[in-house]
Chains A and B, each alone.
Chain A
Amino acid sequence: MKTFVCASVALALAAVLCTAQEKPATVDFRVYDGSAGEAVEALQQATGLKPTYNDVDADDMSFGTVLVATGLGRDDASRALAFATGCNVQLEPQSGILRIAPPGERARGGNVKGYDVSVLAGRYVEYVNTWGAAKRRLEKDVKPEPERTAAEYLAGLIEDLLYDPWGEDLTASVVGDRILFTTHDSSHGRVRELLDLLMKDGGGESSDLQRERDVVQKLKDSPFSVAYDNTPIASVLAGICVDAEVGLVLGREMAFTCSDFHTSIAFSKKTCWDALKTTLDILKEEDFEPLVGVRGGCVAIELDRDDISRGYRVYDIAELLKKLAAAYQRQGTAPGKEGGYDGDLKDAGGNFVVLDSLYDLLDAGGHEGQCFVYGTRLVVRGNVEAIDAATEILEQMGWEKPKD
Chain B
Amino acid sequence: MRRCIALALLAPLLCLFWQGEAQAETAKTVNCVYPGEVLASALADFSTQLGYRFEPGDYEDSFEIEQPIWVLAKDVKPELAARMIGASGGVQINLDDANRRITLTDLDSDEADARSVKGFKIDDLAAHFLAYQKRYGRVGDGTDPDLLYRPTATEELRDAISEILRLEETEGGAGSAVGKRLIYTRSKTELAQISELIQLLGTAAGGESAALKLDRRNRDELRKLRSDFQPGDGLLSALLYQLFKDYSVPVYIDAGLMGQFDFQYDTTEVTLEATSTHFDALQALARENFFAVDSVGGALRLNQQDYAGSASYRVFDVSELLVELEQAYTELKTGEDVLEGFHGDLRSHGGVDVVIDALELQLESAGHSPLIRAYGALVVVVGGVDVVDAGVEVLEAMGWKQAEANEEPK
Q: Which of A106-160 contact B (CB under 8 A)?
A: 106, 108-114, 118, 121-122, 125, 128-129, 132-136, 147-151, 153
A108–B367 CB distance below 8 A = yes
* Closest Cβ neighbor of A53 among chain B residues: B269
B372 to chain A: closest CB distance in Å?
A: 13
Q: Using Cβ atoms and an 8 Å threshold, which residues of chain A touch B340?
A: 128, 132-133, 148, 153
| Stretch of A35-43, A176-184, A211-219, A256-264 at the chain-chain interface | A176-184
Query: Is A14 an interface residue when CB atoms closer than 8 A count as contact?
Result: no
Q: Using Cβ atoms and an 8 Å threshold, which residues of chain A touch B338?
A: 128-129, 132-135
Query: Is A62 an interface residue when CB atoms closer than 8 A count as contact?
Result: no
Q: Using Cβ atoms and an 8 Å threshold, which residues of chain A touch B325?
A: 175-176
* Closest Cβ neighbor of B325 among chain A residues: A176
A182–B335 CB distance below 8 A = no
Interface contacts beyond A109-B367, A135-B339: sample of 8 additional A-B pairs, CB < 8 Å, sorted by A = A52-B284, A112-B362, A125-B334, A175-B358, A177-B332, A178-B328, A182-B366, A183-B365
Query: Is B408 an interface residue when CB atoms closer than 8 A count as contact?
Result: no
B328–A177 CB distance below 8 A = yes
A148–B342 CB distance below 8 A = yes
Query: Is B21 an interface residue when CB atoms closer than 8 A count as contact?
Result: no
Q: Using Cβ atoms and an 8 Å threshold, which residues of chain B touch A174?
A: 358
Q: Using Cβ atoms and an 8 Å threshold, which residues of chain B touch A183?
A: 365
Q: Using Cβ atoms and an 8 Å threshold, which residues of chain A touch B390?
A: 112
- Kindly state the interface size class of chain A when it binds its partner: 35 or more
| Stretch of B81-89, B239-247, B300-308, B393-401 at the chain-chain interface | B393-401
Query: Is A329 an interface residue when CB atoms closer than 8 A count as contact?
Result: no
Q: Which of B216-240 contact A (CB under 8 A)?
A: none
A112–B393 CB distance below 8 A = yes
Query: Complex formed: what's the CA distance from A2 to B397 in Å?
Result: 59
Residues 34-66 of A, flagged 1 when their CB comes within 8 A of B and 0 if not, give 000000000000000000111000000000000
Query: Is A8 an interface residue when CB atoms closer than 8 A count as contact?
Result: no
Given A106-B367, A135-B341, A175-B354; A118-B328 close (CB under 8 Å): yes
What DSSP secondary structure best describes chain B's contact surface?
helix
Query: Is A173 an interface residue when CB atoms closer than 8 A count as contact?
Result: yes
Return the contact of B333 from the options A110, A111, A125, A148 (Cβ within 8 A): A125
Q: Using Cβ atoms and an 8 Å threshold, which residues of chain A touch B333?
A: 125
A173–B332 CB distance below 8 A = no
Query: Complex formed: what's the CA distance from A151 to B329 in Å?
Result: 10
Q: Using Cβ atoms and an 8 Å threshold, which residues of chain B touch A177?
A: 328, 331-332
Return the contact of B342 from the options A52, A53, A150 (Cβ within 8 A): A150
Query: Is B93 an interface residue when CB atoms closer than 8 A count as contact?
Result: no
Q: Which of A211-234 contact B (CB under 8 A)?
A: none
Residues 335-366 of B, flagged 1 when their CB comes within 8 A of A and 0 if not, give 10111111110100100001101100111011
Query: Is A171 an interface residue when CB atoms closer than 8 A count as contact?
Result: yes
- Kindly state the interface size class of chain B when it binds its partner: 35 or more
A25 to chain B: closest CB distance in Å?
A: 17
Could you give 21 example pairs across A and B, Cβ below 8 Å? A54-B287, A111-B366, A112-B362, A112-B390, A112-B393, A125-B333, A132-B339, A134-B339, A135-B338, A171-B361, A171-B365, A173-B357, A175-B355, A175-B358, A176-B328, A177-B331, A178-B328, A178-B397, A178-B399, A181-B365, A182-B363
Query: Is B324 an interface residue when CB atoms closer than 8 A count as contact?
Result: yes
B393–A147 CB distance below 8 A = no
A370 to chain B: closest CB distance in Å?
A: 19
B358–A173 CB distance below 8 A = yes
Return the contact of B399 from the options A122, A129, A176 (Cβ within 8 A): A176
Residues 361-394 of B, flagged 1 when their CB comes within 8 A of A and 0 if not, give 1110111000000000000000000000010011
* Closest Cβ neighbor of B284 among chain A residues: A52
* Closest Cβ neighbor of B288 among chain A residues: A52
Return the contact of A173 from the options B287, B362, B399 (Cβ within 8 A): B362
Query: Complex formed: what's the CA distance from A112 to B399 in Å?
Result: 12
A31 to chain B: closest CB distance in Å?
A: 22
Query: Complex formed: what's the CA distance from A133 to B340 in Å?
Result: 8
Q: Using Cβ atoms and an 8 Å threshold, which residues of chain B touch A175?
A: 325, 354-355, 358, 398-399
Residues 284-327 of B, flagged 1 when their CB comes within 8 A of A and 0 if not, give 10011000000000000000000000000000000000001100
Query: Complex formed: what's the CA distance from A128 to B339 in Å?
Result: 8
A121–B397 CB distance below 8 A = no
* Closest Cβ neighbor of B338 among chain A residues: A132
Q: Using Cβ atoms and an 8 Å threshold, which residues of chain A touch B276?
A: 96
* Closest Cβ neighbor of A148 among chain B residues: B342
Residues 164-193 of A, flagged 1 when their CB comes within 8 A of B and 0 if not, give 000000010111111011110000000000
Q: Using Cβ atoms and an 8 Å threshold, which residues of chain A touch B284?
A: 52
A155 to chain B: closest CB distance in Å?
A: 11
Residues 259-280 of B, flagged 1 when their CB comes within 8 A of A and 0 if not, give 0000000000100000010001
A134–B337 CB distance below 8 A = yes
B26 to chain A: closest CB distance in Å?
A: 46
B355–A128 CB distance below 8 A = no
* Closest Cβ neighbor of B349 among chain A residues: A149
Q: Using Cβ atoms and an 8 Å threshold, which residues of chain A touch B324?
A: 176
A149–B342 CB distance below 8 A = yes
A147–B358 CB distance below 8 A = no
4 tightest Cβ-Cβ pairs between the two chains A and B = A114-B397, A176-B328, A173-B358, A182-B365
B331–A114 CB distance below 8 A = no
B341–A147 CB distance below 8 A = yes
A331 to chain B: closest CB distance in Å?
A: 22
A113 to chain B: closest CB distance in Å?
A: 6
B371 to chain A: closest CB distance in Å?
A: 18
Q: Using Cβ atoms and an 8 Å threshold, which residues of chain B touch A149?
A: 329, 332, 342, 344, 349
Residues 53-84 of A, flagged 1 when their CB comes within 8 A of B and 0 if not, give 11000000000000000000000000000000
